[in-house]
């Protein structure tokens, strides 16, 4: 049930009152410095101070429209009687950050938490959307546990090239494969480059960005319907303004993330992840996010829910359409309405209503995009969890984005010791690879790469592409882009860099994949594996200093969410002293 709010806060109850309200020298300093910025006491006196955590920079194309949205959020905050302050935070750019944006998700989470805690903030608007920014900001907000509302960036417009619709990522990989196979020329390739990303907004396939913003809405951290609105739609501006208005009320009501995010909210998140055909990356992020709320999500919970949840969103990479189409078909509220019997509808949300109240009148306007329950894209959820002697702590696969013929497959391993080795040899004409081979990539996990990059969709060797092969079994301890596809076994735990069984695979070893049985096994005797383990030596640490060293020391494995141990730890952090 939503949190009961019998009494509203008074201005003296505001957290910022500790900074502003006392008749002492320190408060004098705080007030005088606001005046230095041109604000009078009419602007801020007795008002909730609302931080707008803005993950914008000139190198995050998915957030290009944020400078305008900030002004719209501020407009809403002023209207509702709050005092807005914009605080830039790390713009974790999926496009440009190397080796991977995932290396910096926890940095953003830590920064968001500390920016809120250390300053006179009563509530927060979280502006994100590009892959890691959604979990990073929400993880930080859960730990800070101040009233917070998420404003998703929204998907970009559909891509297009010569009348053919293009989807972020998904069609990049497809056209690249055809180029490598010699089926398209440079002119077409450049045309795809011009047309695949043609407006502000995050990737418009059901990749990680759309998955995570849909999840943010499902768990109740956005206004209803916010996640599906295209970034450049005028509704997006109105949603931003409304979010600004609402956060002020949330402060007076003292409605905080941990009042909303109980076990049922996370089960809803997994259910929706399955029903939308969500990204495999959502598993890592959800485990980390729930962990911040003190809730453990074992991998098995994802598999249990996938058994009972059909995929009904017909969106790429698993389906046909894109987010702009999804929005016009009714968007996430329409989808939630169609799976309402699978959800905990009494969960609280940021607008003060239950999830059920928010979606009870939501409609669906295109049954091919949001399928009826009797005609799903897939009768089971989008992600399965596998185990076996190759992955004792689990790994994941997205069978709906893979060729069905490979769901039960046994083949000889071709092992690449790291990505550099893969790049050097994958297209070697002498590589003894066939369509039945199993490509294995080591050294690509949270600690090995480090940062667990999206290297898991290993490229098909060019000679096989020319022969018409478009999918193979691929296994790694890395992740895969949510926009990608293929029979890719991902997140193998424990990872190879800490001596997981993946590190013991040799060329020619037979590997057995059985998706329906949820099995992944290396057909090598225990005695031989023991002999290999005795010979195994850990790799040298990649970073001798700096943030990379901190990451390597503190990052957990994928089945634990890849959070930092000291951030995921139980217990509360005290409010700062003000002397
Ligand atoms: Fe930002 Fe895909 S690059 S969401």
pLDDT digits (tens, 9 = 90+) for 336-352: 999 999 999 999 999 99
Distance of alpha carbon 167 from the chain centroid: 18
Judge whether residue 1 has pLDDT over 80.
Answer: no
Percent of the chain past pLDDT 90, that is, above it, reads: 96
CA nearest to 439, candidates 472, 409, 466 = 472
Q: Name residue, tokens 């509704």.
A: 235
Beta bridge partners of 205: none
Half-sphere exposure of 504 (CA within 13 A, CB side): 23
Q: Ligand 1 mean position to 525 CA, how many Å?
A: 43
Q: Ligand 1 mean position to 198 CA, how many Å?
A: 13
Smallest CA separation from ligand 1 atom 2, residue: 203
- Name the pTM for this structure: 0.97
462 contacts 181 by C-beta, under 8 angstroms: yes
- Would you state the pLDDT for residue 570? 75
Averaged pLDDT, 518-538? 97
**First and final C-alpha spacing in the chain:** 40
Characterize 290-327 residue by residue with b for buried, 16 or more Cβ atoms within 10 angstroms of its Cβ, and e for exposed: bbbbebebebebbbebbeebbbbbbbbbbbebbbbbbb
Span 404-441, pLDDT tens digits? 999 999 999 999 999 999 999 999 999 999 999 999 99
- Would you state the pLDDT for residue 518? 97
Averaged pLDDT, 451-471? 95
Q: Which atom of ligand 1 is nearest to the CA of 60?
A: 1
CA nearest to 475, candidates 517, 413, 525 = 413
**Alpha carbons 409 and 283: distance in angstroms, whole number:** 24
In degrees, rounded to 5, the angle at the alpha carbon of residue 10 between the alpha carbons of residues 9 and 11 is: 120
- Would you state the pLDDT for residue 3? 53
Q: In Å, what is the CA distance from 125 to each residue of 57, 192, 240, 241, 422?
A: 17, 36, 9, 11, 42
Instruction: Check residue 288 and report its DSSP letter.
Output: H
Judge whether residue 5 has pLDDT over 90.
Answer: no
Contacts of 575 (CB under 8 A, 6+ apart): 15, 18, 117
Q: Are strands 408-416 and 438-441 parallel, antiparallel or unpaired?
A: parallel
- Would you state the pLDDT for residue 433? 98
- Would you state the pLDDT for residue 482? 86
Judge whether residue 571 has pLDDT over 90.
Answer: no
Lowest mean pLDDT, pick from 107-116, 328-337, 453-462, 568-577: 568-577
Q: Ligand 1 mean position to 271 CA, how many Å?
A: 23
Q: Residue 166: enclosing H or E segment and its boundaries?
A: strand 164-166
Contacts of 423 (CB under 8 A, 6+ apart): none
Name the residue of 62, 63, 91 to mutate for ligand 1: max ligand atoms within 8 A of Cβ. 62
Span 536-554, pLDDT tens digits? 999 999 999 999 999 999 9
Q: Ligand 1 mean position to 195 CA, how many Å?
A: 16
Q: Which atom of ligand 1 is nearest to the CA of 62?
A: 1
Contacts of 123 (CB under 8 A, 6+ apart): 48, 49, 50, 51, 82, 146, 147, 148, 149, 247, 248, 250, 251
**Alpha carbons 208 and 352: distance in angstroms, whole number:** 27
**Alpha carbons 400 and 398: distance in angstroms, whole number:** 6
Q: Which atom of ligand 1 is nearest to the CA of 95?
A: 3
Name the residue of 65, 94, 482 to mutate for ligand 1: max ligand atoms within 8 A of Cβ. 94
List own/partner pairs for 297-301 with CB under 8 A and 24 or more apart: 297/266, 297/270, 299/385, 299/394, 299/396, 299/559, 300/385, 301/267, 301/270
Q: Ligand 1 mean position to 169 CA, how many Å?
A: 9
Span 238-266, pLDDT tens digits? 999 999 999 999 999 999 999 999 999 99
Span 133-153, pLDDT tens digits? 999 999 999 999 999 999 999
**Mean model confidence pLDDT for the chain:** 96
Smallest CA separation from ligand 1 atom 1, residue: 130
Q: Ligand 1 mean position to 240 CA, how many Å?
A: 20
- Would you state the pLDDT for residue 4? 55
Judge whether residue 287 has pLDDT over 90.
Answer: yes
Q: Listing from the earlier edge strand, what are the strands of the sheet with 49-54?
A: 83-88, 49-54, 123-128, 148-152
**Alpha carbons 458 and 476: distance in angstroms, whole number:** 9
**Alpha carbons 548 and 574: distance in angstroms, whole number:** 27
In which band, very low, low, confident or very high, does the pLDDT at 569 lie, cut at 50, 70 and 90?
confident
- Would you state the pLDDT for residue 6? 57
Percent of the chain past pLDDT 70, that is, above it, reads: 99
| Ramachandran bin of 129, using left for φ above 0, alpha for ψ from -120 to 50, beta for the remaining angles | left
Judge whether residue 532 has pLDDT over 90.
Answer: yes
Sign, CA torsion 475/481/487/493 = positive
Name the residue of 200, 209, 279, 285 to mutate for ligand 1: max ligand atoms within 8 A of Cβ. 209
Name the residue of 202, 227, 479 to mutate for ligand 1: max ligand atoms within 8 A of Cβ. 202
**Alpha carbons 419 and 435: distance in angstroms, whole number:** 20
Q: Ligand 1 mean position to 201 CA, how many Å?
A: 8
**Alpha carbons 473 and 486: distance in angstroms, whole number:** 8
Q: Which atom of ligand 1 is nearest to the CA of 168?
A: 2
Measured from CB, residues less than 6 Å from any atom of ligand 1 are 62, 94-95, 130-131, 168, 202-203, 207, 209
- Would you state the pLDDT for residue 365? 98
From the CA atom positions of the chain, what is the Rg in Å? Answer: 24
């Amino acid at each position: 049930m939503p949190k009961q709010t019998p009494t509203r806060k008074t201005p003296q109850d505001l957290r910022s009152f500790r900074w502003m309200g006392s008749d002492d020298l320190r408060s004098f300093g705080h007030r005088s410095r606001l005046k230095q910025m041109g604000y009078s006491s009419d602007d801020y006196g007795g008002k909730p101070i609302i931080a707008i955590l803005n993950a914008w920079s000139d190198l995050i194309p998915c957030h290009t429209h944020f400078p305008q949205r900030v002004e719209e959020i501020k407009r809403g905050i002023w209207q509702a009687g709050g005092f807005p302050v914009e605080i830039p935070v790390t713009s974790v750019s999926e496009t440009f950050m190397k080796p991977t944006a995932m290396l910096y998700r926890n940095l953003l989470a830590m920064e968001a938490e500390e920016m809120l805690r250390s300053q006179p903030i009563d509530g927060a608007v979280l502006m994100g959307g590009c892959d890691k920014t959604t979990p990073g900001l929400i993880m930080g907000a859960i730990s800070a546990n101040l009233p917070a509302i998420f404003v998703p960036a929204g998907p970009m417009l559909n891509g297009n090239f010569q009348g053919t619709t293009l989807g972020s990522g998904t069609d990049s990989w497809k056209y690249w494969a055809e180029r490598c196979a010699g089926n398209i020329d440079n002119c077409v390739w450049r045309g795809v480059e011009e047309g695949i990303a043609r407006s502000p907004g995050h990737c418009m396939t059901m990749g990680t960005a759309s998955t995570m913003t849909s999840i943010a809405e499902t768990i109740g951290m956005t206004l209803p319907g916010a996640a599906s609105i295209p970034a450049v739609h005028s509704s997006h501006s109105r949603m931003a303004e409304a979010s600004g208005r609402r956060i002020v009320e949330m402060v007076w009501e003292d409605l905080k993330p941990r009042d909303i995010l109980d076990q049922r909210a996370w089960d809803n998140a997994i259910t929706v992840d399955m029903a939308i055909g969500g990204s495999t990356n959502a598993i890592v992020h959800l485990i980390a996010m729930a962990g911040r709320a003190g809730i453990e999500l074992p991998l098995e919970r994802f598999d249990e829910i996938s058994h009972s949840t059909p995929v009904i969103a017909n969106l790429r990479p698993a389906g046909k359409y894109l987010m702009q189409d999804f929005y016009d078909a009714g968007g996430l509220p329409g989808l939630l309405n169609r799976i309402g019997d699978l959800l905990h509808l009494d969960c609280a949300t940021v607008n003060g209503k239950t999830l059920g109240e928010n979606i009870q009148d939501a409609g669906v306007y295109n049954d091919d995009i949001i399928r009826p329950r009797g005609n799903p894209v897939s009768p089971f959820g989008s992600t399965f969890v596998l185990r076996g002697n190759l992955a004792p702590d689990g790994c994941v696969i997205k069978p709906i984005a893979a060729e069905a013929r490979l769901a039960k497959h046994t083949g000889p391993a071709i092992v690449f010791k790291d990505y550099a080795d893969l790049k050097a040899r994958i297209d070697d004409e002498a590589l003894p690879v066939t369509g039945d081979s199993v490509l294995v990539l080591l050294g690509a996990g949270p600690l090995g790469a480090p940062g667990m990059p999206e290297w898991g969709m290993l490229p098909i060797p060019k000679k096989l592409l020319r022969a018409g092969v478009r999918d193979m079994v691929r296994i790694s301890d890395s992740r895969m882009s949510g926009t990608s596809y293929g029979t890719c076994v991902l997140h193998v735990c424990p990872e190879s860099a800490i001596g997981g069984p993946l590190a013991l695979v040799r060329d020619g070893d037979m590997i057995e994949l059985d998706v329906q049985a949820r099995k992944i096994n290396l057909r090598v005797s225990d005695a031989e594996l023991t002999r290999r383990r005795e010979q195994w030596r850990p790799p040298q640490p990649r970073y001798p200093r700096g943030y990379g060293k901190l990451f390597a020391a503190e990052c957990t494995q994928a089945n634990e969410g890849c959070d930092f141990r000291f951030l995921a730890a139980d217990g509360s952090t005290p409010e700062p002293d003000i002397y």
